[in-house]
Amino acid sequence: MSYLLALDAGTGSVRAVIFDVQGNQVAVGQAEWKHLSVENVPGSMEFDLDTNWRLACQCIHQALERAHLHAADIQSVACCSMREGIVLYDRNGDAILGLRQRRRPRQPRGGRTQRDPRRPV
């Protein structure tokens, strides 16, 4: 039988959920994580990437164990997270930080998308 795995990185925890191809939930692995404060920035929040990656892997292993499955039984993996967070890694496996995010065009109340005048149509 084939299975699907969803990895959900939320604000306070990460979870791995395994489903069968009919959409039935088979098993869950979940772990809470804490955020780091940025020095001299009150109310700030930063992710501990190394620790959080280990927690995500731990959740996947936990879900596989609870479902009595092997990694080869998973046919597809879907990932989601809060907001538009993404971490890219260089060839050495080090996180590339300080990326600039481009915003999508805003949708005004009238319902038409505003085009960036600097970009050709």
Predicted confidence at residue 63, as pLDDT, reads 98
Give the pLDDT confidence of 31-87 residue by residue, as tens digits: 998 888 878 878 777 778 888 889 999 999 999 999 999 999 999 999 888 765 667
Instruction: Please answer whether residues 26 and 18 qualify as being in contact, where contact means their C-beta atoms are separated by less than 8 angstroms.
Output: yes
**CATH code for the structural domain at 3-96:** 3.30.420.40
Which of the pair, 100 or 55, is modelled with greater confidence?
55
Q: Are strands 13-20 and 25-32 parallel, antiparallel or unpaired?
A: antiparallel
- Number of helices (H), then strands (E), belonging to the chain: the values are 1, 6
Domain ranges of the chain: 3-96
Chain centroid, CA 80 distance in Å = 4
